[in-house]
Structure 1
Amino acid sequence: MSITLSLSIKQGTSECKGDSGGGYVVFIPSNDNEENKTSGVWFIRRIISLAFSKENDYNVCDPNEYVIFTDVVKYAYWIKTYIK
């Protein structure tokens, strides 16, 4: 069973040092009101586990590299146990 996912958006931006633990969120629109598309719920789907730096400079993030995310759903039971 895999617990990580690698995602990348190649637009010259990237997560960077200090972003670990940040969320990759997904918006699920509410079906209650079809006219109001802004109502719904945000879910944390993944958290940032690792972002790569440039090879020759650890302090500079590399927007051409992948970012590794951990799948939060696989830890849902454990998380719910500790946030009660």
Structure 2
Amino acid sequence: MEKTDSSISRKFNIALYSLFILLALYQSLYSKVYVDAASSLAIALIFDPFNPQQPWKERPKWQRIWLIIHLATAAALLGFGIGFNER
């Protein structure tokens, strides 16, 4: 069975998305570098784990909710990191 370019690209995106999530978890929970963790979470969004060719309005609702929560978590972590470093 031959793999198509889109399936290889999707697996590549899922792998990089997962790695950046793991990096963000490491940076926030172990290293306590929250601004870097927020940037890793934001970079993970570049590697859309779902179908990147699918327009936003055509995506299932659960995918849109997942990506919005992901973005909100990155923003909250950035705010927490900036506020935490001001002490």
Q: Compute the TM-score of the two structures, normalised by the length of structure 2.
A: 0.23
Report which of the two structures shows the higher radius of gyration computed on alpha carbons.
Answer: 1
Greater RCO between the two (CA within 8 Å, min separation 6)?
A: 1
> Higher helix proportion, which one?
2
